[in-house]
Amino acid sequence: MNIRHIAEKAGVSVATVSRVLNHPEHVAPATKAKIESIIAETEYIPNWFARGLNLNKTGTIGLVIPNMLNPENMEIVKGAEDVAQQKDYISLLCNVENDAKKENKYIDNLIKRRVDGILLISSLLSEKEVMAIIAQGIPVVHVGETTWNDSVPIVSIDSKDAAYKATTHFLETGVTKIGILYGETPEVENNRKIKGYEKALKEEKISVIKEYEIQVENTIEGGYLGARKFMNLPNPPNAIFATSDLLAFGVMDAMKDGNISVPEQVAVIGFGNIRMSNLVEPKLTTVEKPLHKMGVVGARLLFDLIEGKNKPIEEVKNIQLQSKLKIRKSCGHKERIGEMF
């Protein structure tokens, strides 16, 4: 059963059936009721994609994420999905696994499917590649820090400042041998965290020791291996700032296996405040990124662009949300009552 059969059965034109499906307010009530009755009787299901092309909308958006195994990304996706569901939109989730070629392939497929907009999370695309998407009439919003020069709206936090505050907190507790364990991805964000870490040390006239800056894969396993590298140094640090909570979990696991007490012998701070950070023992001090809110704000901005509610894209301002330091026991804090929100 297709739309032509519905029209023949109702004794009307295909265009009239199409108006009932897309613009029922323009059809006479009696005709509308007759066609709707036939549709219900035959259990006809409209082709949503073809219908979307008629309306110049497909009711879909693309969510492009670097790695779906990273809880940070999935909390952002949850925020974006909440908005998409409110808008009665379907989200097409693309897991690019930190692979630029795979990301480009997904983008090509999203364009072919005529999605109404694309939300990029910590994208590996170049500014030129993003502008090519926009040139095809598809709005794009980016969640996370990037080097693009205001070519697309961006929702982010100030990672450099957040890392500066985390390192400063270490210094205020009296530790001075502070290492930073940073992930290979996301590259721009982690580079800015390193700058914040080094700024805090330099302000206190503490030398930046390159052996105290170790890069690993941004996973729990990477954190474990990075911590072992720190502990094998002739003069290991007595505090480790990890640029993600996953890395921090690996650090704490390595300390436990090495019979090194956290925070008495090595203090630890993470980054992200994913849900598990308050469940590990000792509870993890971490920089809270408003992950769900970043997804919500990014998606709302994208739908504003889709619906034409915003100014031209070159006039849309970037949105920078606030991070917070959540102080718990892994850096020496004793009582949760003093936790900073």
pLDDT digits (tens, 9 = 90+) for 164-201: 999 999 999 999 999 999 999 999 999 999 999 999 99
Q: Give 318's Cβ-side CA count (13 Å radius).
A: 17
Please say whether the dihedral angle defined by the alpha carbons of residues 8, 10, 14 and 17, taken in this order, is positive or negative.
negative
For the chain, domains (ranges, CATH) are 3-46 (1.10.260.40), 60-157+291-310 (3.40.50.2300), 159-288+325-338 (3.40.50.2300)
Phi, psi (deg, nearest 5) at residue 225: -65, -40
Regions of the chain where pLDDT drops below 50: 336-341
Q: What is the predicted pLDDT for the residue at 161?
A: 98
Q: For residue 200, how many other CB atoms are within 10 A of its CB?
A: 21
Partners of 319 in beta bridges: 155
Question: What 3-state DSSP class applies to 295?
Answer: helix
- Pairing assessment for the beta strands 178-183 and 213-216 based on DSSP bridges: parallel
Interval 91-145: pLDDT, tens: 999 999 999 999 999 999 999 889 999 999 999 999 999 999 999 999 999 999 9
Q: What is the predicted pLDDT for the residue at 253?
A: 98
Q: What is the predicted pLDDT for the residue at 51?
A: 55
d(CA 297, CA 252): 33
Q: What is the predicted pLDDT for the residue at 312?
A: 55
Q: Please check whether residue 269 is in contact with residue 331, taking contact to mean a CB–CB distance below 8 angstroms.
A: yes
Partners of 268 in beta bridges: 240
d(CA 267, CA 272): 17
- Tokens representing 3 are 């739309």
pTM of the model: 0.83
Q: What is the predicted pLDDT for the residue at 45?
A: 63
**Residue corresponding to tokens 């908005």:** 83
Q: What is the predicted pLDDT for the residue at 337?
A: 39
Report the length, in residues, of the chain. 341
Q: Where is 215: in which H helix or E strand?
A: strand 213-216
Partners of 95 in beta bridges: 65
Residue 139's closest CA among 297, 294, 302, 299?
Answer: 302
Partners of 240 in beta bridges: 179, 268
Terminal Cα-to-Cα distance of the chain (whole angstroms): 58
d(CA 31, CA 56): 25
Q: Please check whether residue 32 is in contact with residue 24, taking contact to mean a CB–CB distance below 8 angstroms.
A: yes
